[in-house]
Structure 1
């Protein structure tokens, strides 16, 4: 091979090598672009995961609220049997109210073949009811509908008043033509979905106790006992304030209700200011003092608010709404703020005030309110019971709870006390539920008769000494 052929061989080899390197660079460039695309897709998935994680607390909150209110929905919404007997129920209302039904028309929207049905757990059932009645019979019919044990409501109605000149001599015979829309919802939870597990469910549920209670209260059907005409000429009275049902009923006037709520609102604002003061404390001593003052003020406020709510003192609707929004809801907000600020240990001031509140309720015979007061701190006790300095308060709270529960259970016991027989020589026996018992004998499981006095019997029930008057 001469020099020219060598040069051509070398040149051809170099050109082939350069072409090979160019091909490798081109193929690697495609791989790099593909990897860049994978990186972008992976980053997008990471961002989606972060968004999902950020939404998880709100989603968990709604799931917990829904689960805790499901049982209330099951109790108040009609079941399948109630729906089948819906028309029969309306006929019973007709008979009880004195109205005369002329037509009942099913107005339920047909959704049997609709995909929308799968998106909701509630199926609407509606009827249009046409009847004739006087004003108070119509009000009675409305009362039967809206105070029924199962949820029913009247979203709208039309009334064509009777002509006055036809009933000039006796207006009580006036019969109005009424068209009433009655609707309810059948609760049918969707099947097939797997129940999601939520970490720390009980702790998160306890933090939402106030909101759960508010939602359950909103779902509860409030009963109203309709009293009839009561010599009124016009049935369309101010619905914000019911009339007294009878002389002697303890119903606060509108002015007294307004003053009561204004006082509670002022005390609630004071508690809110104390919360801000506690959060702004700049040293440990100031923190302890501010928290102690706040807990005492808040516990006294909660005690009074529970009593007002339990006794149903507020009938004037504006006062009632303001009480729920500016007092009960604000108390719940303050408690949630305190719960978020507390780490694992509940402050001793909270336990002290809880003991004092339960003691006051027990002394006043308010056993159910005492249990409600215990429920307010129950979720914070597991950590406190492991601390020697807090354990005595936890034991005292649990003892008061035991006493309140025992008294309520004792009151529900069926004890038919017929009398006492004196056998002489300080020997007496009591006739209870058709049998004779002497002191020291068991009347029922965990219930022992311990003494017989002239006006009462003394028992020990679940280690608590209780009495039952002989008159009962």
Structure 2
């Protein structure tokens, strides 16, 4: 029994030791499995994160390429610190070119804390005097400038109604804030090289151009007053201005002449840009026709007193007459001693003929004065000499008729009898054919409704 008991105890002890060993082994194996599982999960999360990073890298790379290209574009439309040095001069050029009169232009203080990021606001306060159309021209230059600008604030005090009659134009007092943004990226990281950058950029040009187009501002081409009235001026003006034409009709006449003057300037640019003599001659011939037409119409308006509305008078003088004189001066400086061309002489001669037919002798002399001081240069040119002779002859006739019109000739009676000399009472004195009223004025014929005289070799009639 004792032996069996010992065997049983030994087996039992061995079994317990084996079970304990197995338990310890299982415990450590289970712990190892848990650790392995944690490592596997951590590795899986790293794999997922790496996949997201790989997927996001291409997207980030595309964003970086687009941002780099857009940054270049932003630098072309927004000034930087260096550009701001010339920005004020740009505004001053706008003022000079548009004709506005500057009273003040200064930089306005801006709180730097109010603007954060890569864009720093810059504001200038501008005070000026201008009519509506000069001001619109000024705004047009701001709108169409290559650098971004905007008018953040504007105040207008309209001119007095009486200032139009007193000064010839309505100058409104205008104050505005002109604003732009300086593009200076802050804390900009060093650029990172991107493999095959140019190729990838070319593939994304569609997106880049779409974003550029979104930053492009549409603009309107301002074409001037074009006969419109100033909306800030009291419209209660009389319909009849004293010249027989309404205010609007006068404005439209001057606007039409201004348009023709602009076309003449453009034609002069073609003359200057001509590549050869033939091309220059053709362009110049067209220009001379345009100038002659403008001169004729301006003379007629002035002679008839058609433009009495003061703003239209000012505009006619400054934008048409003065501009025409300047253009003719430029032509004269280019011509030197060549003198006017045959076509120019023909145009002036035609204008003089038209004035003489309508008894506009002073206008005929005005047309002659356009070329009078240049005729000495060309009177020996066989091609142009006949025109010189005709022009001087017609100018002489116009002067003779003008002088004849200044004579005071009062006819109080006429007696005509068959077979006897006719007698006329002129300035209270009985006169017959052949008598001299003055040293140069001879009675040539006496009729019942007119008397014909010879004055300086020209037969002239005075009706009564």
Which bracket does the TM-score occupy, shorter chain normalised?
A: 0.3 to 0.5
Q: Who wins on radius of gyration, i.e. which is larger? A: 2
Q: Normalised by the size of structure 2, how large is the TM-score?
A: 0.47
TM-score normalised by the chain length of structure 1 = 0.46
